Amino acid sequence: MQPYDMDMLALVHDVARLMRLRFDQFARTFGMTRAQGLIIKHLKHQPGMTQNELACLCEVEPITVARLIDRLEANGFVERRLDPSDRRIRRLHLLPAAEPILVEIERYRASIRDELAVGVEKVDWEITNQVLLHMKNKLVAENAKSRPHAAAGE
């Protein structure tokens, strides 16, 4: 079998699906969903995002994000704040109660990375990362070209 004979795209899809299933189980231990964990993670790195921006990142409809934010807000993890330059826009910010969950998410990420890396040479891990990053960058660039510009206020 030649290296390109294996269906790498199907394999990447399968690995991603299995990792999502595993994270679903982890998130349930905190009474959360994977989507809520993803939102918290995004807001940690990009505080002040709008619901529409999050919806694009999470690849769901804005109404879905609104419901997820409602639950996170009710649990004291997130708050909506008025945008100082446009009061029609609400910006999302994490509250201190989200910090322990973020710590656990990082622990989880480190543990699964370490578990999956067992038996893989460091150079192979690095090459795999480079190849996947190359694929991601190509797809992101392609999507940016074909995507319509966001509406005002998004």
Segment 67-94 shows an average pLDDT of 93
In this prediction the pTM is 0.76
Q: Are 40 and 72 in contact (CB under 8 A)?
A: yes
Quickly count: other Cβ atoms within 10 Å of residue 90's Cβ: 15
Q: What angle, rounded to 10 degrees, do the helices at 34-45 and 62-74 form?
A: 90
Segment 72-97 shows an average pLDDT of 94
Among the residue ranges 11-15, 63-67, 86-90, 150-154, the one predicted with the least confidence is: 150-154
28-77: per-residue pLDDT in tens? 998 899 999 999 999 999 999 999 999 988 888 989 999 999 999 999 99
pLDDT of residue 137: 92
**pLDDT of 153 higher than 90:** no
pLDDT of residue 150: 46
pLDDT of residue 7: 85
Helices marked H in the chain — which ranges?
Answer: 8-28, 34-45, 51-58, 62-74, 99-117, 122-146
Residues with Cβ within 8 Å of 51's Cβ and at least 6 positions away in sequence, in order, are 62, 65, 66, 69, 90, 92
**pLDDT of 154 higher than 60:** no
Q: Are 95 and 77 in contact (CB under 8 A)?
A: yes
95-141: per-residue pLDDT in tens? 999 999 999 999 999 999 999 999 999 999 999 999 999 998 998 88
Q: Could you tell me the residue ranges of all domains in the chain? A: 3-146
Question: Alpha-carbon dihedral of residues 1, 117, 140, 9, nearest 10 degrees?
Answer: 30
CATH number of the domain at 3-146, out of 2.60.260.20, 1.25.40.10, 1.10.10.10, 3.30.450.20? 1.10.10.10
